[in-house]
Chains A and B, each alone.
Chain A
């Protein structure tokens, strides 16, 4: 989609070369002369302007080799100029970044190039000293590794009722993940007993982590979404005076261009305000359980928690133009499938909002798409080849890239598998076809269930699951394509993001 713009843009920009504002021309000239002074040309027979055109067309997976060619190549491969040119040329590539957690609760990131099917490990988030303001009463200078968000939200909720066991000993958990403007972000989380404000950014161009402006308050388990190229965080939990864990209704927004945070009106949680008794209001804590950037607004699913119970109360929607929250349509809030208690995972692909409904059966799930006209979640894929991971914190992740919906899960060999759903266009085009498809999907999966009573989809390997799915695909008009698998040992899935650079 971006290719149309960028092709026109590329040619436009070079033919308007003489017409660009003077300082712009000056900058370019100075830059290229700087190249010449300090470094030899990238390719001696060509001006760097053309060499950059060449470099920008080479896939990113080759960049590591290219950095080692020479000093000037090294500089060029990590320059903004190159990545801006890729944008202009439409040669940007979408990579999937998967956050995993290993035994010792250490966070590790891996990048997958879905086209070459190659993986790369990211450098670890550096150890860092975190200085808590002394007036908060916490010890002032601590060192720690960044550890996994291993504590389930349910355990945090347990803490609200005074059973804080475990949390104090937990080094790090509950950070949120986001991606905006070509960079990954790791936000907040609990460290030992305090909720952190700090935000780490990974720049894939430079391949380094750096700390950016902190959030206004410490948050753990907050929800993130991108709207108008800005990173929004809402809710989460914090730790108040006396160590009590308090849910947050506040929201804020990070602008990657200014590098600063701005306040966003707090979520009203209007449904929580109408609780009949003060006792209930005290017992039930409102919390944001999921967020999606959909049709230009932020849709936040909300729940009331009182360990071990949780009640979904629909949600609220933030409109950036009105700068205010409204109640979420009832169908959207009630039908939004939850991955597990306290987590409503969703993904937007090509403007459509999808979520995976794990359903009652142990080794399958359904993918549902939200129909905003009918305010209803509709099944678009009747069977997803995921295994039962009730013990896992993140049994599966969802991602949208290459214009398609992807499910990331672990197969029977404990390898991480990336599966692409070949959703057919007619699914989303008209309501009538989508409902007729839903019927056929329902019928075929019932037939499938009855023919394989005890071991539906005995996944010995991903390959076999893939073949099974493939054979089902004809009945369901949904193909599952295995994009990649990789053995990460005991690493568990935590989260994932897509960057297009």
Chain B
């Protein structure tokens, strides 16, 4: 079963190969596979050939392992706080090494320009790849955190559409609210 190959066709008619286990990282592909309509190639009209290899790379890394990849998908924070019934220190250590390794991989994987970030987000959303969507959305969120309105506009190429009067009012409100004191 692990050797079963699946073929994906990008929006610009290029075909890519992926292992079935890796493809299952995508909820959408999983449904198609389980639906039994695996005749030849799966067309993905919303994903271009620029981005599909990047998606496949993610799936290869995360396909098949369901447990630990979820933890790392949340920025390394194990929100589920699963307490395993048989707590094993050795297993815990191995898990830690695995998580660290995955983190490093993610860091390298996520090194791309903003257009790729947008495209990956769209592809992850379309293919329902939760981990990839979390990862990319989190990266975009980090481009807002702690930034001024001007910096946010610059990061996302947004034009302010407030009237000058509204801008002024904003500043007033901000001043009023400017009881935003740092503690230390």
Contacts and interface: CB of A to CB of B under 8 A. Distances in A.
B81 to A, nearest CB: 8
A15 B133 CA distance: 14
Interface residues of A, number: 44
Contact of B158 (A54, A70, A117): A70
A43 interface: yes
Contacts of A50: 121-122, 125, 137
Nearest to B146: A62
Interface string A45-67: 11101100111011101101111
Contact of A484 (B79, B81, B183): B183
A15 B30 CA distance: 12
A54 B125 contact: no
B161 interface: yes
B137 to A, nearest CB: 5
A67 B156 CA distance: 15
B143 to A, nearest CB: 9
B121 A46 contact: yes
Interface in B78-95: 79-81
B102 to A, nearest CB: 18
Contact of B115 (A45, A53, A59, A486): A45
B160 A121 contact: no
Nearest to A3: B79
A186 to B, nearest CB: 19
A118 B180 contact: yes
Contacts, number: 106
Interface in B38-79: 74, 79
A44 B162 CA distance: 17
Interface stretch (B7-15, B17-25, B105-113, B147-155): B147-155
Given A40-B161, A43-B156, A66-B144, A53 B183 contact: no
Given A50-B122, A62-B144, A117 B184 contact: yes
A53 B183 CA distance: 29
Interface string A28-43: 0000000000011001
Given A117-B182, A486-B183, A44 B158 contact: yes
B145 to A, nearest CB: 6
A69 B149 contact: yes
Contact of A120 (B81, B144, B149, B177): B177
Interface string B129-144: 0100100011011001
A239 B125 CA distance: 61
A92 interface: no
A72 B152 CA distance: 14
Contacts of A119: 179-181, 183
Contact of B161 (A70, A123, A484): A70
B103 interface: no
A54 B144 contact: yes
Contacts of A68: 149, 162, 170, 174
B140 A54 contact: yes
B152 A69 contact: yes
A4 interface: yes
Nearest to A108: B179
A11 B130 contact: yes
B3 interface: no
B79 to A, nearest CB: 4
Contact of A485 (B161, B162, B183): B183
Contacts of B179: 110, 119-121
Given A65-B149, A484-B183, A4 B144 contact: no
Given A7-B74, A70-B159, A117-B184, 14 more contacts: A7-B80, A15-B128, A44-B158, A45-B115, A57-B138, A58-B145, A64-B174, A64-B177, A66-B152, A69-B153, A69-B160, A73-B158, A118-B180, A119-B181
Interface of B: 27, 74, 79-81, 115, 118, 121-122, 125, 128, 130, 133, 137-138, 140-141, 144-149, 152-153, 156-162, 170, 174, 176-177, 179-184
Interface of A: 3-4, 7, 11, 14-15, 39-40, 43-47, 49-50, 53-55, 57-59, 61-62, 64-73, 90, 110, 117-121, 123, 484-486
